[in-house]
Amino acid sequence: MHRHEWEVGECEILRAPNVLNGLATAVAAFTGDGDGIIVQPPVFFDFYDFIKENNRELALTPLFLKDGRYEMDFDGLRQLAEDPKNKMLFLCNPHNPVGRVWSAQDLKQLGEICHETGVVVVSDEIHGDITFPGHTYIPF
């Protein structure tokens, strides 16, 4: 299958009943009780309840507004990622609710930080098909 400039083999696709169940499966597979999961508020509200209900801890690195656009705080992200307690990051790409379509540079920088620190990125891309003209969604 080829979409969004991304070639995906059929054997790489697993079906989940919905997005939150997919996230739950990843949390169960890659984290344990009490581990931290990094999220970037403001973000889809179910992320918060869902992390707490699964006995994981929220690790928050808020987005910030710059020139009318939300940006990631990469210093804050690195600080949390370097804490061995934090094992996973929920990325929202594009980001609900702020509507940011993350750039290749944003995704690369986030990926490098998480790769260096061993943080597993779980990217929720449910809104990938909904972008304004002139903005290109890039699968993480």
Task: Kindly write out the interface string for residues 21-60 of this chain, putting x where it contacts ligand PLP by CB under 6 A and - elsewhere.
Answer: -----------------------x----------------
Nearest-approach distance from CB 89 to ligand PLP, in angstroms: 14
98 binds ligand PLP (CB under 6 A): no
Q: Which residues of 44-71 are buried (b: 16+ CB within 10 A; e: fewer)?
A: beebeebbeeeebeebebebeeeeeebe
DSSP-assigned letter for residue 42: S
With CB under 6 A as the rule, give the number of residues binding ligand PLP. 8
Is the CB of 44 or the CB of 77 nearer to ligand PLP?
44
The β-bridge relationship of strands 86-92 and 36-39 is: parallel
Of 16-24, 25-33, 60-68, 128-136, which part binds ligand PLP (CB under 6 A)? 16-24
> Is the CB of residue 84 less than 8 Å from the CB of residue 115?
no
